[in-house]
Amino acid sequence: MKAIKKKPKSILKIIAPILIISVIVGIFILKSNPEKPIAANTGDFTLETTAIDLDLLKSYGLPIVIDFGADSCVPCKEMAPVLKELNQEMQGKAIVKFVDVWKNQTAAEDFPVQVIPTQFFFDKEGNPFVPKDAEAMQMMLYSTKDTNKHVYTAHQGGMTEEQFRAVLKEMGVE
């Protein structure tokens, strides 16, 4: 009786295409899964930060909410659970950031922060959000003196979850 020997080349001819197809299918599944947040493992999407790189955040093409406050500020403490929930829920849909300006005093240098908490809003194109009714949303629109170009949209004081959701909805986030 002869022993049957399989040639290694015939095994490779079978395994190689299977591996290639598996990799292609895996990549397709990862790319087409809308529930998976974009770059969720990067620090750019964590809630708390010590500094704001606005150009980097704008490069993601998502609406942005930045809250300048402090861990020891009473309205900020009341908003903390809401910001945490929104940050987790909005991964891949919007960027929600918090900066403690008492611990990171230089973080707000480029923003017109007069009181805490103050929130700033940018649309997915990276432009300051323009609400349909700024007065009703208690928003302040900042413009440059020389060109009158709109540079910031801000809300001073605490915001409720409903207020945040209304702003995000108007910004196109569902």
Instruction: Report the CATH number at residue 75.
Output: 3.40.30.10
Within a domain: 35:
no
Pair of tokens at residue 173: 């986030």
Give yes or no: 73 in active site. yes
Enclosing domain of residue 75: 43-170
- Strand order of the β-sheet with 64-69 is 48-49, 95-100, 64-69, 118-122, 150-156, 140-143
Within a domain: 6:
no
What is the 3-state composition of the chain as percent helix, strand, coil, each rounded to the nearest 5?
A: 35, 20, 45
What predicted TM-score, i.e. pTM, was given to this entire model?
A: 0.75
- 57, 73, 83, 95: which is the annotated catalytic residue? 73
Residue with tokens 């190689």: 16
Within a domain: 22:
no
pLDDT tens for each residue of the chain, 174 residues long: 555 555 566 666 776 667 677 667 656 565 554 444 444 446 789 999 999 999 999 999 999 999 999 999 999 999 999 999 999 999 999 999 999 999 999 999 999 999 999 999 999 999 999 999 999 999 999 999 999 999 999 999 999 999 999 999 999 998
Within a domain: 33:
no
Give yes or no: 21 in active site. no
Number of domains in the chain: 1
Within a domain: 36:
no
- 76, 96, 113, 154: which is the annotated catalytic residue? 76
Within a domain: 29:
no
What DSSP element (H or E) covers 12? helix 8-32
Within a domain: 120:
yes
Within a domain: 61:
yes
**Phi, psi (5° rounding) for residue 129?**
-60, 135
CA atoms of 174 and 63, how far apart (whole Å)? 12
